[in-house]
Structure 1
Amino acid sequence: MTGRGEAALYPLRLSITTKPLVFGGHAISRRLGKPGIPDWSIAETWECSDVDGEGAQATNGPLAGYSLRRLISEYPEELMGVGWSGDYFPVLTKFIDAAGTLPVHLHADDATARRVEGQRNGKTEAWHILAAAPGATALCGVVDGVDREQLRRALRAQDFDAVLRRLPVSAGQTIYVPGGTLHSFGPDTLIYEIEQTSDIQQHAMHWNMEDGSPVSDEQFDTNIDLLMQEVCLEHRPDFEPGLKIAVDDGVQRRFLCAGPYFALERWQAGTVRPVRHTFTTAQILTNVGAPVRVRTGDFDEELTSAQSLLLPAICGQVEIAGPADVLFGYLPDLARDVDTPLRTAGYSQALIASLGAGRPETP
């Protein structure tokens, strides 16, 4: 495999996008210890993004300045794996600080995004809870038995608890949220989010999430009409603890979620053995613990707290010295990357399917 560029691919540090939305706070920098972000209220940092107009660029090595879109165009198989082709990087990852409460909103599924919004794909997502205050909750999915007219009336009245499921939230849990699912979370909740590459959304609020300014009655009615075209009443996902595999002495691998669009794993290691992970597709490595040393091929560098690194498929393996607490996000071959290791560990196919809401979707 060779790209059309002059340089070979290597682990990539990417530029990030910061979002100072109205519900944000200071937890990403002060609690997670993320360096290099502005010292004001930040709601989101986009760790790996190829969203149109807000895509990341490489910041290290001979390919510094190359956009992720250009990298995937010039190095498709080196980045994503043998046989892969596509026009953009398919996975988006973020830290989200819900110091305040997010707006009640949804993202269309693929079919609806193409039909209603003229977009190439929708946005299924998953939230991995990094921290949450005691008593924290999330809204996710419509209560069983609520019909479309009841939902519309409640949304117009901003009476969300009358029609939406309110779920308890605690650190370490993960929820897979299919496109079309109404949702919100916060306050006092810090998450890592993985999702399809998209920024489409429809809101049910009388205020704008950028600055809290009011939404006019006319715009609010339009927003509710569009949302009702995209909502799925049947999705009722739940938080899951993930499925654990003991890998080595003091090394644990936990599958947090897995579906056709993305998978997310959390690896933790003590000091006896390092994390050793082999892979055949691009890995978004994100450090959610103390600084660690990352080694793959000739690359041997520190990854500080709350920083991410894009490991191209061509790297093939990575070693991370413990103590370590890291996330790996990727586009999976479900049979190879998820089902096989978990079935080998003794998990039933029903339990494995629960990592992706029963895997009802096809890309």
Structure 2
Amino acid sequence: MEPLFMTPVFHHKIWGGSKLQSQFGFKIPDDQTGEAWIISGHSHGPTAVANGRFKGQTLAELWQTHKELFNNEAGAVFPLLIKILDAKTDLSIQVHPDDAYAAEHEHELGKTECWYILQADPGAKLYYGHQATTRDELKTMIEAQDWSHLLRQIPVKAGEFYYVPSGTIHALGQGILALETQQSSDSTYRVYDFDRLDKKTGQKRALHLKQAIDVTRVPHVDPVLDIATTSEPGLTKTHLLSSPYFDVEKWRCTGSTTQRRQADYQLFTVIDGNGTLTVDGHDYPLEKGASFVIPYDVDQLALTGSMVLITSWPNQTQAK
């Protein structure tokens, strides 16, 4: 019985920066590193186990060959993907498909996601939702590039949480560092990319206007979040989201606490501070940026220290 610590996989992005190194100590490949995939079974960047008997094996491999670690869960792929994103400049305005559209057109899961804002520069903003009232109006405004009337912009600060269901037009804005919990999918339809040129190709990145118009929810409706906080000795839990695909919580550890695993398996990332994880009598040091999976054969875990973690687990009705 042991936790599965993950080795992150990094992705160069036109909008990326260097905060994944300066804020988390990651050894990034260049100063345009936009994404650290920190717990992933996706084929575009599966993370490998860094410790124990499965060291060197990827999460994707374990999902196929050791299903007992996940209570023999069904499903072709590990269902969740956890990232940290560094938006040195604005991401493209984009939208993701739901499961049905993605299965038909992309042959993978849809992409519902959420963001916990780790850091935001003064004046930082999100692009979130749109102002169109009908699909025809949406199409007209996109084709006219009437972004000032179409797009909603929202000021953002550290500690905020946003739920981004599939079909939501969105983008992280310049100066935001965020932890993203999402379905394990890499299907993104770009609506607008600020006419930027890729330094490597000298060309504008492709847009996907037909697909974007097909999948965008019209009209946009902000989801209602039921955020609730509970406290016990050594630990404060803030339940951020219950979605059809995953639950997300923030844990603030201020001493020592012992907890039961909350689902068949549970994902954790330390976003601040440091401490110790104890499983089956063995201690594992935790530092900012550490990410691990508590598998099915681990019934309980102990945390000691002063730290904040984001944890998530698959929605059980979807996972089975």
SS at match of 1:198: coil
Show the counterpart of 2:119. 131
Quote the sequence identity (%): 25
Specify which structure has the higher proportion of helix. Answer: 1
Q: What do residues 45-64 of structure 1 show as CA deviations (whole Å, max 9, x unaligned)? A: 00111112422222222212
- Give 1:205 shift: 2.5
Letter of the aligned partner of 2:78 in structure 1?
F
- Give 1:24 shift: 1.3
Show the counterpart of 1:199. 186
Show the counterpart of 1:349. none
Letter of the aligned partner of 2:89 in structure 1?
G
Report the count of equivalent residues.
318
Show the counterpart of 2:158. 171
Cα distance change, pair 173–147 in 1 and its aligned pair in 2 (3 A): same
| Distance in 1 separating the partners of 2:294 and 2:177 | 25
Instruction: Report if the CA contact (8 A) 1:20-1:210 is conserved.
Output: no
1:247 is aligned, of 232, 243, 255, to 232
SS at match of 2:140: helix
Q: TM-score, normalised by structure 1?
A: 0.80
* 1:256 and 2:240 are equivalent in the alignment: yes
Show the counterpart of 1:120. 108
Q: Which region of structure 1 is more displaced relative to structure 2, 163-172 or 275-284? A: 275-284
Q: What do residues 204-244 of structure 1 show as CA deviations (whole Å, max 9, x unaligned)? A: 2355786584338xx54xx2122212222134335858311
- Give 1:362 shift: 11
Show the counterpart of 1:234. 219
SS at match of 1:237: coil
SS at match of 1:306: coil
| Distance in 1 separating the partners of 2:319 and 2:148 | 31
Matches within 5 A, 1:41-60: 41-60=32-51
Instruction: Report if the CA contact (8 A) 1:103-1:209 is conserved.
Output: no
Specify which structure has the higher proportion of strand. Answer: 2
| Distance in 1 separating the partners of 2:106 and 2:175 | 35
Show the counterpart of 1:344. none
- Give 1:112 shift: 1.5
| Distance in 1 separating the partners of 2:309 and 2:7 | 19
Show the counterpart of 2:175. 188
Show the counterpart of 1:30. 22
Show the counterpart of 1:266. 250
Matches within 5 A, 1:284-295: 284-295=267-278
Cα distance change, pair 172–13 in 1 and its aligned pair in 2 (3 A): same
| Structure 1 unaligned blocks of 5 or more | 1-8, 335-360
| Distance in 2 separating the partners of 1:74 and 1:259 | 28
Q: What do residues 266-294 of structure 1 show as CA deviations (whole Å, max 9, x unaligned)? A: 111223x3363433321111011122211
Cα distance change, pair 135–239 in 1 and its aligned pair in 2 (3 A): farther
- Give 1:328 shift: 0.9
Cα distance change, pair 112–39 in 1 and its aligned pair in 2 (3 A): closer
- Give 1:70 shift: 1.9
Q: TM-score, normalised by structure 2?
A: 0.90
| Distance in 1 separating the partners of 2:199 and 2:223 | 30
Cα distance change, pair 54–200 in 1 and its aligned pair in 2 (3 A): same
| Distance in 2 separating the partners of 1:167 and 1:236 | 14
* 1:306 and 2:293 are equivalent in the alignment: no
- Give 1:171 shift: 1.6
| Distance in 2 separating the partners of 1:109 and 1:198 | 10
Cα distance change, pair 256–328 in 1 and its aligned pair in 2 (3 A): same
Letter of the aligned partner of 1:28 in structure 2?
L
| Distance in 2 separating the partners of 1:211 and 1:239 | 40
SS at match of 1:130: strand
SS at match of 1:324: strand
| Distance in 2 separating the partners of 1:93 and 1:204 | 24
Show the counterpart of 1:320. 303
SS at match of 2:53: coil
Cα distance change, pair 119–209 in 1 and its aligned pair in 2 (3 A): farther
Letter of the aligned partner of 1:14 in structure 2?
M
Letter of the aligned partner of 2:185 in structure 1?
S
Instruction: Report if the CA contact (8 A) 2:120-2:157 is conserved.
Output: yes
Instruction: Report if the CA contact (8 A) 2:274-2:305 is conserved.
Output: no
- Give 1:75 shift: 2.1
